[in-house]
């Protein structure tokens, strides 16, 4: 496959089939280790069909990553109307932690970090398709909550980055560096609650 950024993804009848096969191979073998033959075989399609949808392996991986990000994205409908900042932030924190600490979340993150030097666009596009979208949604909520007098924030960019950093305390580096291979729900709640406590201690009314 070529690595031309101008390549275009084409959708069709077997698009989801190709994507599902690619997801399994990428997560098992990584970006570099994933071969076109293996992906086509896993997807149950010919190489010609695979190429017709994804002329660039980077595009195929990014579609897998985008699909995972969209599948796990925080939705406003998940948050009950009239919730307090503590309730909203706790729900968001627990959801994001469950995603970034999941087996799939960890594998995709590792692949992007491992390949970003050779393929800089890979890291940039992954960040834009997942982490940046979550940041923008949070920033939008923080602005609205501040306008309602529920929070006191002046620098929304800084507050959003501080939130992201707090969520990655303790469990995330232990999982990334293989010091742990799993986490319990109670541990996720512990980090989420501590993140919300510290965030509200700085920005709460």
CA dihedral 28, 191, 62, 74 (to 10 degrees): 130
**pLDDT mean over 156-174:** 96
What pLDDT, on a 0 to 100 scale, did the predictor assign at position 97?
Answer: 95
**Cβ-Cβ contacts under 8 Å for 72 (sequence gap 6 or more):** 95, 99, 105
Q: What is the pLDDT of residue 194?
A: 98
pLDDT reported for residue 104: 87
pTM above the 0.75 mark?
A: yes
User: How many alpha carbons fall within 13 Å on the CB side of residue 59?
Assistant: 19
Identify which has the larger pLDDT, 185 or 13: 185
Who wins on pLDDT, 2 or 58? Answer: 58
Q: What pLDDT sits at residue 68?
A: 80
Mean pLDDT of the chain: 88
- For residues 75 and 120, which has the higher predicted lDDT (pLDDT)? 120
Q: pLDDT tens, 81-139?
A: 789 999 999 999 999 999 999 998 898 888 888 888 887 887 888 888 888 888 999 99
Place of tokens 């969520």: 167
Which domains are seen in the chain, by residue range?
15-67 (1.10.10.60), 73-203 (1.10.357.10)
**For the segment 1-31, what is each residue's pLDDT rounded down to a tens digit?**
444 444 556 777 899 999 999 999 999 998 8
């Amino acid at each position: 496959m070529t690595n031309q950024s101008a390549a275009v993804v084409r959708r069709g009848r077997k698009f989801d089939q190709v994507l599902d096969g690619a997801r399994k191979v990428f997560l098992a073998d990584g970006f570099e280790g994933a071969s076109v033959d293996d992906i086509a075989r896993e997807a149950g399609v010919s190489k010609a069909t695979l190429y017709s949808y994804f002329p660039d392996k980077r595009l195929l991986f990014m579609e897998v990553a985008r699909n995972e990000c969209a599948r796990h994205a925080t939705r406003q409908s998940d948050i009950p109307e009239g919730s307090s900042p503590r309730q909203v932030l706790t729900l968001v924190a627990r959801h994001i932690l469950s995603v970034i600490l999941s087996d799939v979340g960890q594998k995709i993150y590792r692949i992007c970090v491992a390949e970003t030097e050779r393929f800089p666009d890979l890291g940039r596009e992954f960040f834009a398709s997942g982490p940046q979208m979550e940041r923008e949604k949070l920033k939008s909520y923080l602005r609205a909550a501040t306008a309602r007098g529920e929070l006191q924030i002046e620098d929304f960019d800084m507050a959003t980055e501080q939130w992201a950093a707090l969520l990655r305390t303790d469990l995330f580096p232990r999982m990334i560096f293989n010091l742990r291979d799993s986490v319990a729900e109670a541990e996720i709640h512990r980090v989420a609650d501590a993140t919300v406590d510290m965030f509200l201690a700085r920005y709460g009314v």
